[in-house]
Structure 1
Amino acid sequence: MIDETVAEIRAMRTHSTSAVAVKATRALAELLDREYVTVDEFERDLEHNAGVLRRSNPSHAALHNAMRDVERSIIGEPTSVEDAKQLLQETIDRVADDIETAKGEAAANAAERIEDGDTLLVHDYSTTVLESIENAARDGAHLTVYVTEARPRTLGRKTARVLAGMPRVDVHMVVDSAMGYALRDCDRVLLGITCITGGTYYNRIGTFPVVVTARELEVPVTAVGSGAKTIEEFRFENEFRDAVEVMREPVEDVEIENPSYDATPIGMIDTVITDDGVVE
């Protein structure tokens, strides 16, 4: 389970950073079926596997925090292997539940800022953004949502399909380069969060031009996500994906760069909403 989860995270087959953190936490349950002679042996194995999972995506603050939380909650606490396994199971359940709860509370806080008749622009794929919109629509708001295609992985298409299934949500999809066209009709940009650290907001590639264009057109930008994605003393590492996502056939003397994330100064974001509240 752990090896498969690491491979899935590295391949970015799970598109939500919160879902990645939950999946990694749940994967540690594999240790419950292993045999250990001593508590020290169990703790060394836990530290090793939590570290492997944490390093599988060094850009995900929620993943980093989840693995650290598990380690801090267990290392040095149990007096027997049986106690260690019981504590691990309890910790896995708590950490996973905390992540889901925080995400839900952040979405609820964001939904309160969405008004009936609003036109929003969203980028890429964020389960917290989708839940925010779903909550607002369920509460009776009629919304128009523009979705950028989010090249090269076109995850905006997945977002559009989910939004299309929500009542009272009118969905429009545009290519990334048409964001300026769409933003002229928008009341707000609503984005997810990969990580906020050191005064920089990190999110999927394409976020920075969306933010810059929105500011030029005086459209407020809101970022929503769990508070676990805001982290101090964290070295964010961008990921560069396969060039074939950009161009299927290689071209001689052309180096194709395919970064996964954009870095945006946090001061360019008008509002940050987490489970802890709202920061303007």
Structure 2
Amino acid sequence: MIDETVRRIEELRTQSASLVAVDAAEALRELLDREFRSVEEFERSLERNSRTLRQANRSHAPLYTTQRRLVDAVADADADDVEEAKAALATAIAGVVDRIETSKAAAGEQAAALIDDGDVILTHENSSTVMAALERALADGKSVELYVTESRPRFLGRRTARQLAGNDRVDVTLIVDSAAGHVLPECDRVLVGMNCLIDDAVYNRIGTYGIATAAADRDVPFTVVGASAKFVGDAGFTFENSRRPPSEVLREPADGFDAANPGYDATPLRLVDAVVTEDDVLRF
């Protein structure tokens, strides 16, 4: 389970930072079924496997913070035996998963309040928190028009389009990434998720910065939605942009040239209208 989860994270089969954190936390349940001779052996195994999960994607802040929380919870329990240590891990996993899901839903609810009936919205890729906001707005009886970028090279935006296509209250149009600036004059708001917020920049799927720049030029509010766990103040975390395989960009081999495929870009907060979390709407 742990090895398979590492492969999913490395291959971006689970793309949302929140879902990655949940997936990785649940993977550690595998340790609850293993035999250990001592608490120390259990804690060493937990630290080793948690580190492997963290290193599967060094750009995901929630993956780092939640895994550290799990390891620290077991250490802080100061268990007298292995079963007590396992119980501490099980409790910590449940708490982490619940906190992520609750925060995502609450952030989505806060963002849904910014969406007016009849709004035209542009979104990029497949943020689970943005999906929570849109689904809440639709459940509240609002109708929206939605432009969704394909989000190359892995076409994550197509998932968003397919997930919302059957709802009568939303009119979904899929566009190529380079068409974002073309449709922005029609839009009332851009709504995107985030991988993490560090200092004065939001890190999110590649292409976000270009959309934010175009939105600022068109005076379209650019709103970021994400759980407060994505705010990074931990000196132990250093964002490392993932370099995806060139094969995701080109089907044929690059002959005489390179194919760059970065996973994320940084959007300065000066281009952001608001960052919405489960706790607040932060205006900039």
Structure 1 residues 165-174 or 199-208, which shifts more? 165-174
- Report the equivalent of 1:192: 193
| Structure 2 residue 16 is the aligned partner of structure 1 residue 48 | no
Match of 2:256 among 253, 257, 262: 253
- How big is each residue's C-alpha offset from its partner over 1:228-280, in whole Å with a ceiling of 9 and x where there is no partner? 11111331100111111111112322111000101111221110001121100
Letter in 2 for 1:62: P
Q: Distance in 2 between matches of 1:257 and 1:205?
A: 12
| Structure 2 residue 128 is the aligned partner of structure 1 residue 127 | yes
- How big is each residue's C-alpha offset from its partner over 1:6-65, in whole Å with a ceiling of 9 and x where there is no partner? 111011101211111001000001111111111111111111111111111111111111
Structure 1 residues 58-67 or 229-238, which shifts more? 229-238
- Report the equivalent of 2:163: 162
Structure 1 SS opposite 2:223 = strand
8 A contact 1:145–1:171 mirrored in 2:
yes
- Report the equivalent of 2:113: 112
Displaced runs of 4 or more, over 6 A = none
TM-score where L is the length of structure 1? 0.98
- How big is each residue's C-alpha offset from its partner over 1:189-210, in whole Å with a ceiling of 9 and x where there is no partner? 0000101112211000110100
Letter in 2 for 1:125: N
Coordinate RMSD, CA, aligned:
1.0
Q: Matches of residues 8-47 of structure 1 in structure 2 within 5 Å?
A: 8-47=8-47
- Mark the runs of 5 or more structure 2 residues left unpaired by the alignment: none
- Report the equivalent of 2:280: 277
Q: Distance in 2 between matches of 1:252 and 1:141?
A: 50
Match of 2:269 among 256, 260, 266: 266
Structure 1 residues 228-237 or 3-12, which shifts more? 228-237
Q: Matches of residues 215-226 of structure 1 in structure 2 within 5 Å?
A: 215-226=216-227
- Report the equivalent of 1:242: 245
TM-score where L is the length of structure 2? 0.96
Q: Distance in 2 between matches of 1:251 and 1:82?
A: 54
Q: Distance in 2 between matches of 1:201 and 1:260?
A: 14
Structure 1 residues 47-56 or 216-225, which shifts more? 47-56
Letter in 2 for 1:61: A
Q: Matches of residues 70-149 of structure 1 in structure 2 within 5 Å?
A: 70-77=70-77, 78-149=79-150
- Mark the runs of 5 or more structure 1 residues left unpaired by the alignment: none
Q: How many pairs align? A: 280
Structure 2 SS opposite 1:165 = coil
Letter in 1 for 2:269: I
Q: Matches of residues 209-220 of structure 1 in structure 2 within 5 Å?
A: 209-220=210-221
